[in-house]
């Protein structure tokens, strides 16, 4: 998997799935839902985020409901990866299932908003070129990489169903 | 070394003798719960894309609850699609506008001790009150479950919480759940919370379900209560014979727990969680000056028959305060019928409460009872995240049905013990 490079959008602890995918927009198309993604904590996020940018967050990112729109809103906006001190469990699984790398980064608090970061999700190496600093975190495990490399759960299921047919 | 209850269930579901924390297993799914919210509307298009159907229609339970009753053409279309899915795949356990899925599973006796079950909703942990391992997953993963009947699980550590002693009057399982959100925080990923001790043993399954439901707020993999005679009696009351080995599903005496904690129920007072987090909880008197506009009794966790009984006990011979309103959305048709038959609904409506349709309703701002900017609400639901029940500036306090009812009468957050004999 190639290196992910982008600016950091920094969030605190306990950012929940309701603020990523507000219930008020459940019936709206994803493009509209995504425009309101995280607005309760950062009203400018959806407007400013560029493809490849990274979310860097504190503890328990994605705590809350099973709504997959939370992870989908981030991929819709082009978020390249999420680095957090820890994750809500369903959000973590959903993110990987949509091919959005999510890595546990205990040093997330050292990152400042707007820092440019480079991430290799397999080796877990995070670099901040401006200061020359780097950190190594646990890369994504092999059993998950197979699915992420297939492009997420759906492409992986397709491969599996095709295999069963032959 | 022995195994905990959930390790045993996961090992069994994976077809191996032992499961150890951290191990990644592929488990066979005994039961999959799909709801209108993240169910057919997300899964069916994917099944079409894959050109496949469901692995076993008889292991799928499908309920409409989030978008019921339809309030606009979009929610009506979601319900219609859900009905078509049930017909297309021959899902016999389809409950259309009969109540909230998590409660229906219990009412129908569909969960057996030792089962491995998955639900497409975060509060699927509620099923763990029947001594099964039931956890919530996103719709994308439920697609995988529906296609293959399997899912990967990283075996969680188990944390055992033992409650001893008896509650004072007016203190209930919800107060334990809110207390634990503060005590343990919301970041218990990779852990199963196993609830036990004499206080839990003395609870009905409906009260145990409050604990396992709110394992979701603890961020846990799931919550579980080992089966006992109470569990078996609940299954029989639902018209199901418990499996022969039901009571054998329990942790070994020498199982390794990540943590074991002991608490005394005697000391617990009614708890309230202030905005905007269930972990922002404290004794009820920490909020007792807060005036409320809306009091809400609803949701899977807080509108079962036992919950409505608590509300009626407080409201009997009293009125909802001027300037406040009490909205009550019973969690299922069966709850509605029982509450009508035993006089509970009459007591509640005589107090001036507003009875709402069965369903998720205002809990997730999908149905009637949504909050305006800056409104203050006390609610028997499980989450008070910013914007969850309506406007971002709305202030939602979480509490037990007793405390919600007492607050409706007082017009401010009130200690229910002042209203109970
Ligand atoms: S009542 Fe609320 S918490 Fe329960 S399933 Fe419905 S939306 Fe979720």
Which uninterrupted H or E stretch holds B161? strand B157-164
- Among A32-36, A66-70, B32-36, B151-155, top mean pLDDT goes to B32-36
Neighbours of B162 (CB within 10 A): 16
- Mean per-residue pLDDT of chain B: 97
Q: Do A157 and B144 touch (CB under 8 A)?
A: yes
Q: What are phi and psi of A56, to 5 degrees?
A: -120, 120
Is the CB of residue B389 below 6 angstroms from any atom belonging to ligand 1?
A: no
A134 Cβ contact partners less than 8 Å away, ≥ 6 residues apart: A125, A126, A127, A128
Percent of chain B exceeding pLDDT 90 equals 95
Query: Could you say which of A19, A87, A89 has the minimum Cβ distance to residue B386?
Result: A19
Q: Cβ distance A39 to A45 under 8 Å? A: yes
Q: Cβ distance B224 to B4 under 8 Å? A: no
β-pairing verdict for B93-96 and B157-164 = unpaired
| pLDDT attached to residue A23 | 85
Distance from CA of B243 to the nearest CA of A (A): 30
Q: Cβ distance B302 to B382 under 8 Å? A: yes
Burial A126-140 (b: 16+ CB within 10 A, else e): bbbeeeeeebebebb
**Tokens representing A101?**
């790398």
Instruction: State the pLDDT confidence band at B314, using cuts at 50, 70 and 90.
Output: very high
**Tokens representing B95?**
């409950």
Q: Do B143 and A94 touch (CB under 8 A)?
A: no
Which of B105, B258, B124, B137 shows the shortest CA–CA distance to B192?
A: B258
Q: How far apart are the C-alpha atoms of B380 and B400, rounded to whole Å?
A: 5
| pLDDT attached to residue A1 | 62
Chain A contact present for B190, CB below 8 A:
yes
Is the CB of residue B181 below 6 angstroms from any atom belonging to ligand 1?
A: no
| pLDDT attached to residue B295 | 98
pTM: 0.89
The 10s digit of each residue's pLDDT in B75-103 is: 999 999 999 999 999 999 999 999 999 99
Percent of chain B exceeding pLDDT 70 equals 100
Instruction: State the pLDDT confidence band at B208, using cuts at 50, 70 and 90.
Output: very high
Distance from CA of A6 to the nearest CA of B (A): 27
**Tokens representing B359?**
């369903």
For an interface test with B, which of A20, A63, A96 has the most B Cβ atoms less than 10 Å from its Cβ? A63
Q: Do A23 and B366 touch (CB under 8 A)?
A: yes
Mean pLDDT of B326-353: 98
Show the domains of chain B with their CATH numbers: 5-264 (3.30.499.10), 272-419 (3.30.499.10)
Mean pLDDT of B343-357: 98
| pLDDT attached to residue B152 | 85
Domain A4-165 has CATH 3.20.19.10: yes
For the CA of B363, the closest atom of ligand 1 is 2
What's B58's DSSP letter? G
Domain ranges for chain A, please list them: 4-165
Which of A5, A14, A9 shows the shortest CA–CA distance to A111?
A: A9
ipTM of this predicted structure: 0.85
| pLDDT attached to residue B117 | 98
Instruction: State the pLDDT confidence band at B370, using cuts at 50, 70 and 90.
Output: very high
| CA of residue B342 relative to chain centroid, distance | 24
Helix orientation angle between B40-50 and A153-165, rounded to the nearest 10 degrees: 40
Q: Mutation test of ligand 1: which of B369, B382, B389 has the most ligand atoms closer than 8 Å to its C-beta?
A: B382
What's B242's DSSP letter? P
Q: How far apart are the C-alpha atoms of A109 and B162, rounded to whole Å?
A: 35
Contacts of B237-244 with CB under 8 Å at 24 or more apart are B237/B109, B238/B106, B238/B107, B238/B108, B238/B109, B239/B109, B240/B109, B240/B110, B240/B112, B242/B112, B242/B113, B243/B112, B243/B113, B243/B114
The 10s digit of each residue's pLDDT in A28-67 is: 899 999 999 999 999 999 999 999 999 999 999 998 877 8
- Alpha-carbon dihedral of residues B342, B344, B350, B351, nearest 10 degrees? 160
Instruction: State the pLDDT confidence band at B364, using cuts at 50, 70 and 90.
Output: very high
* Strands of the sheet with B354-355, listed across from one edge: B281-283, B271-273, B395-398, B376-379, B294-297, B325-328, B354-355
Q: Cβ distance B360 to B299 under 8 Å? A: yes
Distance from CA of A75 to the nearest CA of B (A): 14
Is the CB of residue B364 below 6 angstroms from any atom belonging to ligand 1?
A: yes
Chain B contact present for A86, CB below 8 A:
yes
The 10s digit of each residue's pLDDT in A73-83 is: 999 999 999 99
Is the CB of residue B300 below 6 angstroms from any atom belonging to ligand 1?
A: yes
Mean pLDDT of B29-51: 97
For the CA of B101, the closest atom of ligand 1 is 5
Please state which of the ranges A149-153, A158-162, B304-308, B396-400 shows the lowest mean pLDDT: A149-153
What's B255's DSSP letter? B
The 10s digit of each residue's pLDDT in B158-174 is: 999 999 999 999 999 99
Chain A contact present for B51, CB below 8 A:
yes
| pLDDT attached to residue B121 | 95
Q: Cβ distance B274 to B282 under 8 Å? A: yes
The 10s digit of each residue's pLDDT in A102-127 is: 999 999 999 999 999 999 998 999 99
Q: Which residues of A touch B152 (CB under 8 A)?
A: 143
């Amino acid at each position: 998997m190639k290196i992910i490079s982008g600016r950091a959008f920094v969030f605190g602890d306990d950012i929940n799935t309701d603020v990523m995918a507000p219930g008020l927009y459940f019936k709206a198309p994803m493009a509209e839902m995504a425009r309101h993604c995280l607005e309760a904590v950062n009203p400018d996020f959806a407007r400013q985020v560029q493809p490849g940018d990274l979310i860097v967050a504190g503890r328990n990112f994605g705590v809350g409901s099973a709504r997959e729109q939370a992870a989908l809103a981030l991929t819709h906006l082009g978020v390249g990866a999420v680095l957090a001190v820890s994750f809500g469990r369903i959000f973590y699984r959903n993110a990987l299932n949509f091919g959005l790398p999510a890595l546990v980064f205990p040093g997330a608090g050292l990152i400042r908003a707007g820092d440019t970061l480079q991430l290799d999700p397999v080796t877990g190496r995070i670099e901040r070129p401006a200061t020359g600093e780097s950190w190594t975190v646990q890369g994504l495990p092999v059993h998950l990489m197979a699915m992420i490399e297939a492009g997420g759960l759906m492409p992986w299921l397709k491969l599996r169903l095709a295999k069963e047919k032959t | 070394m022995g195994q905990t209850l959930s390790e045993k269930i996961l090992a069994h579901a994976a077809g191996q003798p032992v499961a150890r924390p951290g191990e990644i297993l592929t488990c066979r799914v005994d039961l999959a719960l799909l709801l209108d919210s993240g169910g057919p509307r997300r899964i069916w298009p994917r099944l079409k894309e894959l050109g496949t159907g469901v692995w076993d229609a008889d292991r799928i339970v499908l309920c409409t609850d989030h978008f019921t009753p339809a309030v606009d053409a979009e929610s009506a279309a979601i319900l219609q699609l859900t009905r078509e899915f049930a017909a297309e795949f021959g899902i016999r356990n389809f409950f259309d506008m009969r109540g909230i899925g998590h409660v229906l599973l219990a009412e129908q006796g569909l969960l057996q001790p030792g089962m491995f079950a998955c639900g497409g909703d975060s509060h699927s942990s509620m099923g763990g009150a029947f001594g099964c391992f039931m956890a919530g997953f996103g719709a994308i993963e439920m697609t995988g479950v529906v296609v293959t009947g399997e899912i990967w699980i990283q075996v969680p550590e188990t944390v055992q919480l033992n409650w001893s002693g008896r509650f004072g009057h007016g203190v209930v399982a919800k107060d334990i759940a809110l207390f634990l959100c503060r005590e343990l925080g919301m970041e218990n990923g990779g852990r199963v919370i196993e609830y036990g001790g004499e206080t839990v043993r003395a609870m009905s399954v409906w009260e145990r379900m409050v604990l396992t439901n709110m394992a979701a707020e603890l961020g846990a993999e799931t919550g579980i209560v080992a089966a006992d005679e109470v569990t078996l009696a609940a299954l029989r009351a639902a018209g199901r014979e418990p499996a022969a080995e039901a009571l054998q599903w329990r942790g070994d005496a020498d199982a390794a727990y990540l943590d074991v904690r002991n608490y005394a129920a005697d000391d617990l007072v009614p708890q309230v969680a202030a905005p905007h987090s269930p972990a922002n909880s404290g004794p009820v008197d920490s909020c007792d000056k807060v005036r409320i506009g809306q009091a809400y009794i609803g949701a899977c966790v807080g509108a079962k028959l036992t919950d409505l009984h608590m509300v009626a006990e407080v409201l009997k011979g009293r009125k909802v305060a001027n300037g406040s309103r009490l909205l009550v959305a019973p969690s299922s048709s069966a709850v509605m019928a029982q509450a009508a038959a035993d006089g509970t609904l009459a007591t509640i409506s005589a107090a001036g409460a507003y009875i709402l349709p069965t369903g998720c309703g205002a809990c997730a701002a999908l149905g009637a009872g949504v909050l305006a900017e800056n409104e203050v609400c006390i609610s028997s639901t499980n989450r008070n995240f910013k914007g969850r029940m309506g406007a971002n500036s709305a202030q939602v306090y979480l509490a037990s049905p007793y405390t919600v009812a007492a607050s409706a009468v007082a017009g401010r957050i009130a200690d229910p013990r002042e209203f109970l004999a």
